[in-house]
Amino acid sequence: MRGSHLSRTRTLTAVLALATTGAVALSGCGQNQQKAAPAAPPKKPDAFERRADQIVHDWPKVSPVHGRQQALLPLVEAARPKSAGAREITVTVGHSACDVRFGARSHESKDLVVITGWGKRKSAKGMCTEQLATDKVTVHLKSALDGRKVVDAATGKQLLKG
């Protein structure tokens, strides 16, 4: 009995050692085996996610971003929601007239909702007048606004207090 316990301990130790390397052959009662691939690496934060994290960390001492980035377009305004329990905000995004697609996205924390506009341009071929266009976009929130401040990611300015 003691030898059987020692054998199970060694087998469990070997399985745990293989699991930490990321490749394990799993087997059940039958003869079939399955290979389990290691988990995908975490997604690298993009420019907006890094900027939103910075704003949340440094709030209220936030400087505007330098230059104009397609992933961090400034907002013209944010419309006040009808109630503090609202789970969406309508913002006006300032984007290029040459953008074929545009929108807004948000990052939520306990005290802030950081929002940015974004644009996707036509191909580099052809002319663009580079004039500013503005359009209203509705941003859906994960949780109610409930008194949180709404901040423009590009400028770092508070647009409204929920």
The verdict on residue 111 lying in a domain is: yes
Say what the pLDDT of residue 15 is. 39
Give the C-alpha separation, 162 to 158, whole Å: 11
Q: What is the pLDDT of residue 43?
A: 77
What is Dmax (Cα atoms) for the chain? 83
Which pLDDT score is estimated for 99?
86
Cα-only R_g, the chain: 25
Name 18's Cβ contacts closer than 8 Å, sequence gap at least 6. Answer: 24, 25
Q: Is 32 in the same domain as 104?
A: no
Which parts of the chain sit beneath pLDDT 50? 1-28, 34
Confidence at residue 32, expressed as pLDDT on a 0 to 100 scale: 55
Shared domain for 112 and 61, answered yes or no, is yes
How does pLDDT run across 97-110, given as a tens digit for each residue?
Answer: 888 899 999 999 99
Q: Is residue 41 part of a domain?
A: no
Same domain (yes/no): 58, 94: yes
Are residue 68 and residue 140 in the same domain, yes or no?
yes
Tokens 């290691």 belong to which residue? 38
**Rounded distance, CA 102 to CA 63, Å?**
24
Helix (H) or strand (E) holding 68: none
pLDDT of residue 106: 97
pLDDT score, position 121: 81
Q: Which domain holds residue 15?
A: 2-36
pTM here is: 0.71
In a domain, 56, yes or no: yes
Give a yes or no: residue 42 inside a domain. Answer: no
Q: What is the number of structural domains in the chain?
A: 2
